[in-house]
Amino acid sequence: MISFGPVPSRRLGKSLGINNISSGKVCSYSCVYCQVGITHKFSNQRQKFYDPEVICSEVKKQLAKLSVADQPDYLTFVANGEPTLDINLGRSIEKLKLFNIPVAVITNASLLIDPQVRADLLPADWVSVKIDAGNEDVWKKLNRPADKIDFEMYVKGLITFSNVYKGKLVSETMLVKGLNDTPEELNQVVTVLKSVQPSIAYISVPTRPPAVKSVLPPDEKDINLAYQLFSENQLNAELIIGFEGTDTGFTGNAIEDILNICFVHPIRQDTMNELLKKDQVNPGILTKLLDDNYIKRTEYKSNVFYIRKFPN
Q: 142 with 289, same domain?
A: no
Q: 37 with 175, same domain?
A: yes
Residue 248 lies in a domain: no
Residue 151 lies in a domain: yes
Residue 187 lies in a domain: yes
Q: 42 with 160, same domain?
A: yes
Q: 167 with 274, same domain?
A: no
Q: 97 with 151, same domain?
A: yes
**According to the model, what pLDDT value does residue 249 have?**
59
Q: How many CA atoms lie within 13 A of 141 on its CB side?
A: 14
Identify the domain boundary among 185, 218, 240: 240
- Are the C-beta atoms of residues 78 and 106 closer than 8 Å to each other? yes
SS3 of residue 83 by DSSP: helix
- Are the C-beta atoms of residues 244 and 10 closer than 8 Å to each other? yes
8: CATH: 3.20.20.70
Residue span of the structural domain in which 273 resides: 254-308
Q: Distance of CA 118 to CAs 12, 49, 104, 223, 280, Å?
A: 22, 19, 14, 31, 44
Tally of domains in the chain: 2
Q: Distance of CA 63 to CAs 142, 164, 246, Å?
A: 36, 32, 19
294: CATH: 1.10.10
Residue 245 lies in a domain: no
- Give alpha helix (H) positions in the chain: 52-65, 89-96, 115-121, 136-142, 151-164, 183-196, 220-232, 254-262, 269-278, 284-291
Residue 192 lies in a domain: yes
Quote the CA–CA distance of 45 and 156 in Å, as a whole number: 18
**According to the model, what pLDDT value does residue 86 have?**
97
Identify the domain boundary among 195, 218, 240: 240
Q: Which of 230, 225, 148 is nearest to 192 (CA)?
A: 230
Residue 249 lies in a domain: no
Q: 48 with 177, same domain?
A: yes
Contacts of 163 (CB under 8 A, 6+ apart): none
**According to the model, what pLDDT value does residue 244 have?**
52
Identify the domain boundary among 195, 217, 240: 240
Q: 208 with 67, same domain?
A: yes
End-to-end CA separation in angstroms for the chain: 19
Q: 235 with 290, same domain?
A: no
Q: 105 with 201, same domain?
A: yes
Dihedral of alpha carbons 159, 165, 169, 175, sign:
negative
Residue 246 lies in a domain: no
Cis amide prior to 6 (ω within 30 degrees):
yes
Residue 80 lies in a domain: yes
**According to the model, what pLDDT value does residue 243 have?**
47
**According to the model, what pLDDT value does residue 130 have?**
98
Beta pairing partners, 203 = 173, 239
Q: Distance of CA 300 to CAs 9, 190, 214, Å?
A: 19, 29, 10
- Are the C-beta atoms of residues 131 and 174 closer than 8 Å to each other? no
Q: 156 with 9, same domain?
A: yes
* pLDDT tens by residue, the chain, 312 residues: 799 888 888 789 899 999 999 777 899 999 999 988 888 899 999 999 999 999 999 999 999 988 888 899 999 999 889 999 999 999 999 999 999 999 999 999 999 999 999 999 999 999 999 999 999 999 999 999 998 899 999 999 999 999 999 999 999 999 999 999 999 999 999 999 999 999 999 988 887 788 898 999 888 788 878 888 998 899 998 877 654 555 565 667 778 777 767 655 567 788 888 888 877 877 788 888 888 887 778 775 667 778 666 544
**According to the model, what pLDDT value does residue 246 have?**
53
**According to the model, what pLDDT value does residue 309 have?**
64
User: How many residues appear in the chain?
Assistant: 312
Q: 277 with 202, same domain?
A: no
SS3 of residue 138 by DSSP: helix
Q: 68 with 125, same domain?
A: yes
- Are the C-beta atoms of residues 118 and 159 closer than 8 Å to each other? no
Beta pairing partners, 7 = 15
**According to the model, what pLDDT value does residue 173 have?**
96
